[in-house]
Amino acid sequence: MAVPKLSTGYIHIQDWLNHGGDLFNRRYANKEDKISPKTASKLSLKWKFYAGKDISATPAIYDDTIYFPCWNGNIYAVKKDDGKLVWKQNLNELTGLKATGLVMNVNTTVSRSTPTIAGNLLIVGMYGPAIVLGLNRKNGKLVWLTYLYHHPAALITMFGTYYKGLVYV
């Protein structure tokens, strides 16, 4: 994961609480005013974080922390200012599951979707076998785990939205 900065100063990052950024799925940072076609040529690398495998999900951002899953089966929390690791958790270790092997050469016990911020929780949907986890946002510890469907081929390909105390998947 690489984060750009402007040569004239640092980018302001607003909270990005789920896959669409907000409850309305607008997918744009309406408070961002420093990045534009006029300033794009001034962008430079601020920091980078090597997670070990691909990161395909849009990260969730809350306060000064960026949360994202990786195809190596880990969920990461890193500081937005310098990319330093806050915590990482492995989904196999959190759930006690082994790779399902239903898709050749792919560990399906990963998350490929944006985590959702829900107060003090980070809600994570697993690709397979369709499990939703509630993690403590500050330390990544497992708070709860729910199977959406017990069939071994069940998948979550996109994650949901938190609204008024409920998570919609």
**CATH code of residue 105:** 2.40.128.630
Tens-place pLDDT, residues 5-20: 544 444 445 565 555 5
| Residue ranges making up the domain that contains 133 | 2-168
Following DSSP, what letter does each residue of 75-131 receive, concatenated? EEEEETTT--EEEEEEHHHHH------SSTT---SS--S--EEETTEEEEE-SSS-E
| Predicted model pTM | 0.78
pLDDT in tens, 19-37: 555 665 655 666 666 777 8
How many independent structural domains does the chain possess?
1
Segment 48-75, tens digit of pLDDT: 999 999 888 888 888 999 999 998 999 9
